[in-house]
Structure 1
Amino acid sequence: MAVVWQRQMGGTCYQVRRHGASVRLYSNGIFHSQWNPRDPLKGSLWELLLLPAFFLPPRKIRSVLVLGVGGGAVIRLLQQFVEPECIVGVDLDAVHLSVARRYFGVRGAELVCADAREYVAGSLAATKQNSYDLIVDDLFGHNEREAERTVAADLDWCKSLLQLLAPDGLVVSNFGSRREMITSGWRRTGLREQLANWSAEMPQYENCVLTVSRRPLAMTDLVTRAPGAINPQNPRRRLKCRLRRL
């Protein structure tokens, strides 16, 4: 694997590495993003963030908010397989956004360098409620070479995301573990009963991805629409994951 770009800024060492057609972003050795334009569905964690989009009908997802861009793998996947009209990506790290443009080829999306909490609060103050059909909450940083969430998914955070979500929309939230998901605001009594909840996990990662919606979400819809490489009913799928209704 070749290092094609590297920069040291403060206490962070950024690297972009290539392996064949794949490009990868690392920060202090933490693997943040991967994109392969020739073969985008390879069974990666970022495809687990894409999969819930297929609960909804084609063209239903017109506007997307991605909180935590990294190298932009999720944005590239959404553009190729969902084709929303508008994607806004928010990341506190300007280097990540530069890498997303230069090495991951992110185009046609609005990339904003901002604190996600401030961006969400500002959007609500600007009366942008019900603005997004899909919100991807993938806010991870690193602490001593360990990836961890940078914004706690407490009850206030979850309610704020719901205010930005269209009535039929989805929030897809990445957690470092199932325990972290279960103790989040999404699972608090009084909120969880109002929402459809699905969790997804992969055997090679501790991460747990939660999907919530105000509307019922049917597995039959997802397996009808999802591409074969990530379709849970395809025995030859590349994305090996466990989906559970909560």
Structure 2
Amino acid sequence: MADAILLHETQDALGPIRVLDYDDARILSFGDNDEQSKILKAAPHIPQHTYVQAMLLVLLFCQPRSAMVLGLGGGALIHALRHFDAAIKLTAVELRPAVIELAKRYFQLPIGKKLNLIQDDAIEFLARGEHKRVDVIFADIYSAKGVDSGQLAPVFLGKCTQLIKPNGYLVLNCWKEHSQNRQLLADVSEHFAHVHACLTGGGNWVIFASQAPLLLGASALKHQAQSLSPKLNFALERSLTRFGPWT
């Protein structure tokens, strides 16, 4: 990562955690050539990674009053959701205490009464089922080695169905390779009646699972994306072109 200034470096049982600073951006890294999170310092609410932009497609299908983010990172999703609607009640669950502290210190995490930060293993937290039901669960549990296998397990998917409201959504961030995983599709389909997905330009495969069908057709979705884009400050329709049923 040439031309970056190392602002902070620490280590925990899971490995290194670094904060890298560029002229206009800041990056949270868990390893060499790794970007867990990236924000624009002047506009942290504008997602810099295409997978975060794709995950926000869920705003086309529902108007969440509450959401849960599993895996905080630098808080890119929190920033975008808070900017979109300051009234959304957000819960973010993060395993590593240092990540939470660095998100506050270096990534302008929007702390307030509407954000509940929980330091815990997200898989175990969900398994306990102690949280109130929410409109959207964003599952983005990653380490330097990649996606946590726990967020792809049938038991995890089952727990999500219990904590998502009837018209809500599970938004699951995976790798491109998971698009060919027929067992994963079968597992998601066993727990959710409707499954869609989006391939991102960055090599991620974002899954959208719900019990309720999509009510908008392609033309209406495009119009809705164009309407929401100014509120999000990026072109949501770019991700929409890669979105469709996962069959």
Q: TM-score, normalised by structure 1?
A: 0.82
- Residue 203 of structure 1 aligns with which residue? 201
Deviations 1:183-222 (A, max 9, x none): 4555338626x522211112332x2000111112234246
SS at match of 2:86: coil
1:212 lines up with 2:209 in the alignment: yes
- Residue 55 of structure 1 aligns with which residue? 61
SS at match of 1:151: helix
Q: Of the candidates 42, 51, 54, which is equivalent to residue 45 of structure 1?
A: 51
Aligned-partner residue type, residue 199 of structure 2 = E
User: CA 1:223–1:34 in 2, change beyond 3 Å: closer, same or farther?
Assistant: farther
Partner Cα separation in structure 2 for residue 138 and residue 41 of structure 1 = 14
Q: Of the candidates 224, 232, 236, which is equivalent to residue 231 of structure 1?
A: 236
Q: TM-score, normalised by structure 2?
A: 0.82
Aligned-partner residue type, residue 141 of structure 2 = L
- Asked whether the equivalents of residues 66 and 138 of structure 1 are also in contact (C-alpha less than 8 Å), the reply is yes
- Residue 178 of structure 2 aligns with which residue? 179
Unaligned stretches of 5+ residues in structure 2: none
Q: Of the candidates 80, 83, 90, which is equivalent to residue 80 of structure 1?
A: 83
Displacement, 1:242? 1.2
User: CA 1:64–1:181 in 2, change beyond 3 Å: closer, same or farther?
Assistant: farther
- Residue 149 of structure 1 aligns with which residue? 148
- Residue 243 of structure 2 aligns with which residue? 243
Displacement, 1:61? 0.7
Partner Cα separation in structure 2 for residue 196 and residue 48 of structure 1 = 18
Deviations 1:23-52 (A, max 9, x none): 110012221001115341445322222222
SS at match of 1:170: strand
Unaligned stretches of 5+ residues in structure 1: none
1:161 lines up with 2:160 in the alignment: yes
In the TM superposition, what are the counterparts of 1:111-150 in structure 2 within 5 Å? 111-122=117-128, 124=129, 126=130, 128=131, 131-143=133-145, 147-150=146-149
Partner Cα separation in structure 1 for residue 71 and residue 48 of structure 2 = 21
Partner Cα separation in structure 2 for residue 166 and residue 90 of structure 1 = 19
- Asked whether the equivalents of residues 57 and 240 of structure 2 are also in contact (C-alpha less than 8 Å), the reply is no
User: CA 1:121–1:149 in 2, change beyond 3 Å: closer, same or farther?
Assistant: closer
SS at match of 1:226: helix
User: CA 1:42–1:90 in 2, change beyond 3 Å: closer, same or farther?
Assistant: closer
User: CA 1:222–1:113 in 2, change beyond 3 Å: closer, same or farther?
Assistant: farther
Displacement, 1:10? 4.5
**CA RMSD in angstroms, aligned pairs only:** 2.5
Worse-superposed segment, 98-107 or 41-50: 41-50
Displacement, 1:89? 0.5
User: CA 1:7–1:162 in 2, change beyond 3 Å: closer, same or farther?
Assistant: same
Sequence identity percentage: 21
Partner Cα separation in structure 2 for residue 189 and residue 75 of structure 1 = 25
1:34 lines up with 2:34 in the alignment: no
Normalized per residue, the structure richer in helix is: 2
Partner Cα separation in structure 1 for residue 176 and residue 161 of structure 2 = 22
User: CA 1:184–1:79 in 2, change beyond 3 Å: closer, same or farther?
Assistant: farther
- Asked whether the equivalents of residues 53 and 236 of structure 2 are also in contact (C-alpha less than 8 Å), the reply is no
